[in-house]
Copies of this chain bind each other. A is one copy, B any other.
Protein backbone atom coordinates (compact mmCIF):
# COMPACT_ATOMS: atom_id res chain seq x y z
CA UNK A 1 0.00 0.00 0.00
CA UNK A 2 1.23 3.44 -0.89
CA UNK A 3 1.90 5.66 2.11
CA UNK A 4 2.75 9.26 2.85
CA UNK A 5 4.63 11.08 0.10
CA UNK A 6 7.16 12.54 2.54
CA UNK A 7 7.33 16.27 2.12
CA UNK A 8 10.56 18.14 2.41
CA UNK A 9 11.12 19.70 5.82
CA UNK A 10 10.77 23.21 4.38
CA UNK A 11 7.51 22.46 2.61
CA UNK A 12 6.16 20.61 5.63
CA UNK A 13 7.01 23.57 7.86
CA UNK A 14 5.24 26.00 5.49
CA UNK A 15 2.24 23.69 5.41
CA UNK A 16 2.07 23.16 9.14
CA UNK A 17 2.62 26.82 9.98
CA UNK A 18 -0.71 27.87 8.45
CA UNK A 19 -3.01 28.69 11.31
CA UNK A 20 -5.58 30.79 9.49
CA UNK A 21 -7.41 30.37 6.21
CA UNK A 22 -7.90 33.67 4.34
CA UNK A 23 -11.58 33.02 3.91
CA UNK A 24 -14.88 34.03 5.46
CA UNK A 25 -18.27 32.36 5.22
CA UNK A 26 -21.61 34.14 4.89
CA UNK A 27 -24.75 32.25 5.88
CA UNK A 28 -27.92 33.66 4.33
CA UNK A 29 -31.14 32.54 6.06
CA UNK A 30 -29.82 29.26 7.47
CA UNK A 31 -32.78 28.02 9.48
CA UNK A 32 -31.40 25.19 11.60
CA UNK A 33 -29.57 26.10 14.80
CA UNK A 34 -27.68 22.82 14.55
CA UNK A 35 -26.41 23.77 11.11
CA UNK A 36 -25.28 27.18 12.36
CA UNK A 37 -23.48 25.51 15.29
CA UNK A 38 -21.83 23.01 12.95
CA UNK A 39 -20.52 25.90 10.81
CA UNK A 40 -18.95 27.43 13.93
CA UNK A 41 -17.24 24.13 14.74
CA UNK A 42 -15.93 23.72 11.18
CA UNK A 43 -14.86 27.38 11.05
CA UNK A 44 -12.81 26.89 14.21
CA UNK A 45 -11.24 23.68 12.91
CA UNK A 46 -10.25 25.12 9.54
CA UNK A 47 -9.01 28.48 10.84
CA UNK A 48 -11.67 30.52 9.05
CA UNK A 49 -11.39 34.31 9.60
CA UNK A 50 -15.04 35.09 10.27
CA UNK A 51 -18.64 33.95 9.96
CA UNK A 52 -21.24 36.43 8.70
CA UNK A 53 -24.75 35.54 9.86
CA UNK A 54 -27.52 37.10 7.80
CA UNK A 55 -31.30 37.22 7.62
CA UNK A 56 -33.04 34.59 9.76
CA UNK A 57 -29.72 32.89 10.64
CA UNK A 58 -29.56 32.76 14.46
CA UNK A 59 -26.64 34.18 16.46
CA UNK A 60 -24.82 33.08 19.62
CA UNK A 61 -25.42 32.81 22.46
CA UNK A 62 -28.06 30.16 21.83
CA UNK A 63 -28.49 26.70 23.34
CA UNK A 64 -29.30 25.20 19.94
CA UNK A 65 -26.14 26.61 18.37
CA UNK A 66 -24.02 25.54 21.34
CA UNK A 67 -25.28 21.96 21.02
CA UNK A 68 -23.30 21.47 17.80
CA UNK A 69 -20.72 24.29 18.08
CA UNK A 70 -19.55 22.85 21.43
CA UNK A 71 -17.83 26.09 22.41
CA UNK A 72 -16.48 27.05 18.99
CA UNK A 73 -18.95 29.96 18.97
CA UNK A 74 -16.61 31.59 21.52
CA UNK A 75 -13.45 31.18 19.42
CA UNK A 76 -14.72 32.13 15.96
CA UNK A 77 -15.24 35.81 15.02
CA UNK A 78 -18.76 36.51 13.78
CA UNK A 79 -21.01 39.39 12.82
CA UNK A 80 -24.73 39.69 12.14
CA UNK A 81 -26.42 41.73 9.44
CA UNK A 82 -30.03 41.59 8.32
CA UNK A 83 -29.29 41.92 4.60
CA UNK A 84 -25.95 40.64 3.27
CA UNK A 85 -25.48 43.12 0.40
CA UNK A 86 -23.42 45.76 2.29
CA UNK A 87 -21.17 43.02 3.74
CA UNK A 88 -20.65 41.44 0.34
CA UNK A 89 -19.83 44.79 -1.26
CA UNK A 90 -17.40 45.65 1.56
CA UNK A 91 -15.67 42.28 1.30
CA UNK A 92 -15.32 42.69 -2.46
CA UNK A 93 -13.86 46.18 -1.96
CA UNK A 94 -11.35 44.58 0.44
CA UNK A 95 -10.25 42.23 -2.34
CA UNK A 96 -12.32 39.12 -1.64
CA UNK A 97 -13.55 36.84 -4.38
CA UNK A 98 -17.27 36.35 -3.69
CA UNK A 99 -18.32 32.73 -4.28
CA UNK A 100 -21.86 31.40 -4.02
CA UNK A 101 -22.21 27.66 -3.40
CA UNK A 102 -25.04 26.60 -5.67
CA UNK A 103 -25.66 24.63 -8.81
CA UNK A 104 -26.41 26.95 -11.70
CA UNK A 105 -25.73 27.10 -15.44
CA UNK A 106 -22.48 28.99 -14.90
CA UNK A 107 -21.25 27.19 -11.79
CA UNK A 108 -17.75 25.74 -11.69
CA UNK A 109 -17.01 22.29 -10.23
CA UNK A 110 -15.59 22.70 -6.70
CA UNK A 111 -12.46 20.74 -7.57
CA UNK A 112 -11.77 22.80 -10.69
CA UNK A 113 -12.31 26.12 -8.93
CA UNK A 114 -9.15 28.15 -8.49
CA UNK A 115 -10.08 30.62 -5.77
CA UNK A 116 -8.35 34.01 -5.64
CA UNK A 117 -7.70 34.32 -1.91
CA UNK A 118 -9.06 35.96 0.20
CA UNK A 119 -12.46 34.41 -0.46
CA UNK A 120 -15.99 34.93 0.85
CA UNK A 121 -18.15 31.84 0.43
CA UNK A 122 -21.94 32.16 0.63
CA UNK A 123 -24.29 29.36 1.69
CA UNK A 124 -28.06 29.73 1.64
CA UNK A 125 -31.24 28.41 3.19
CA UNK A 126 -31.74 24.65 3.60
CA UNK A 127 -34.75 24.60 1.25
CA UNK A 128 -34.57 27.71 -0.91
CA UNK A 129 -30.79 28.00 -1.28
CA UNK A 130 -29.25 31.42 -1.88
CA UNK A 131 -31.72 34.16 -2.80
CA UNK A 132 -31.50 35.39 -6.43
CA UNK A 133 -30.34 38.91 -5.51
CA UNK A 134 -27.50 37.58 -3.33
CA UNK A 135 -26.59 34.99 -5.95
CA UNK A 136 -26.31 37.82 -8.49
CA UNK A 137 -23.67 39.51 -6.29
CA UNK A 138 -21.25 36.57 -6.61
CA UNK A 139 -18.18 36.58 -8.85
CA UNK A 140 -18.19 32.80 -8.97
CA UNK A 141 -20.79 30.09 -8.53
CA UNK A 142 -19.38 26.85 -7.17
CA UNK A 143 -21.10 23.47 -7.40
CA UNK A 144 -20.30 20.38 -5.37
CA UNK A 145 -20.33 17.31 -7.64
CA UNK A 146 -23.56 15.30 -7.18
CA UNK A 147 -23.47 11.71 -8.39
CA UNK A 148 -26.63 10.38 -6.77
CA UNK A 149 -30.39 10.57 -6.90
CA UNK A 150 -30.65 13.70 -4.73
CA UNK A 151 -29.53 17.12 -5.81
CA UNK A 152 -28.22 18.68 -2.64
CA UNK A 153 -26.30 18.01 0.55
CA UNK A 154 -26.96 19.07 4.12
CA UNK A 155 -25.75 22.69 4.21
CA UNK A 156 -23.34 22.07 7.12
CA UNK A 157 -21.86 19.05 5.33
CA UNK A 158 -21.51 21.16 2.18
CA UNK A 159 -19.81 23.79 4.34
CA UNK A 160 -17.25 21.28 5.60
CA UNK A 161 -16.52 20.05 2.08
CA UNK A 162 -16.04 23.53 0.60
CA UNK A 163 -14.11 25.00 3.55
CA UNK A 164 -11.68 22.07 3.68
CA UNK A 165 -11.21 22.14 -0.10
CA UNK A 166 -10.24 25.80 0.31
CA UNK A 167 -7.79 24.82 3.07
CA UNK A 168 -6.29 22.12 0.84
CA UNK A 169 -5.85 24.57 -2.02
CA UNK A 170 -4.44 27.29 0.23
CA UNK A 171 -1.92 24.93 1.79
CA UNK A 172 -0.95 23.78 -1.68
CA UNK A 173 -0.17 27.38 -2.63
CA UNK A 174 1.91 27.86 0.55
CA UNK A 175 3.97 24.74 -0.12
CA UNK A 176 4.66 25.74 -3.74
CA UNK A 177 5.84 29.23 -2.74
Q: Which residues of A contact B (CB under 8 A)?
A: 1-5, 7, 18-21, 34, 38, 41-47, 68, 70-72, 75-76, 97, 108, 110-114, 116, 139-140, 144-150, 152-154, 156-161, 164-165, 167-168, 171
| Integer count of this chain's copies in the complex | 2
CB neighbours (8 Å) of A167 from chain B are 145, 147
> Is the pair B150, A45 in contact by a Cβ cutoff of 8 Å?
yes
Could you jot down 5 A-B contacts, CB within 8 Å? A5-B114, A71-B149, A110-B164, A158-B160, A160-B160
At the interface, is chain A mostly helix, strand, loop or mixed? Answer: loop
Give the docked Cα–Cα distance between A84 and B45 (Å). Answer: 29
> In the complex, how many angstroms separate the beta carbon of A151 from the nearest chain B beta carbon?
9
Give the docked Cα–Cα distance between A75 and B72 (Å). Answer: 34
> Is the pair B68, A18 in contact by a Cβ cutoff of 8 Å?
no
CB neighbours (8 Å) of A146 from chain B are 45
> Is the pair B164, A44 in contact by a Cβ cutoff of 8 Å?
no
Q: A42 and B75 in contact (CB under 8 A), knowing A4-B112, A147-B19, A164-B165? A: no
Among B21, B44, B116, B139, the residue within 8 A (CB) of A150 is B44
> Is the pair A147, B71 in contact by a Cβ cutoff of 8 Å?
no
CB neighbours (8 Å) of A145 from chain B are 45-46, 164, 167, 171
> Is the pair A150, B70 in contact by a Cβ cutoff of 8 Å?
yes
> Is the pair B111, A148 in contact by a Cβ cutoff of 8 Å?
no
> In the complex, how many angstroms separate the beta carbon of A123 from the nearest chain B beta carbon?
13
| The 6 residue pairs across chains A and B that have the minimum distance between CB atoms | A44-B148, A47-B147, A157-B160, A75-B149, A161-B164, A2-B114
Q: Nearest chain-B residue to A168 (Cβ)?
A: B111
> In the complex, how many angstroms separate the beta carbon of A125 from the nearest chain B beta carbon?
15
> Is the pair A154, B153 in contact by a Cβ cutoff of 8 Å?
no
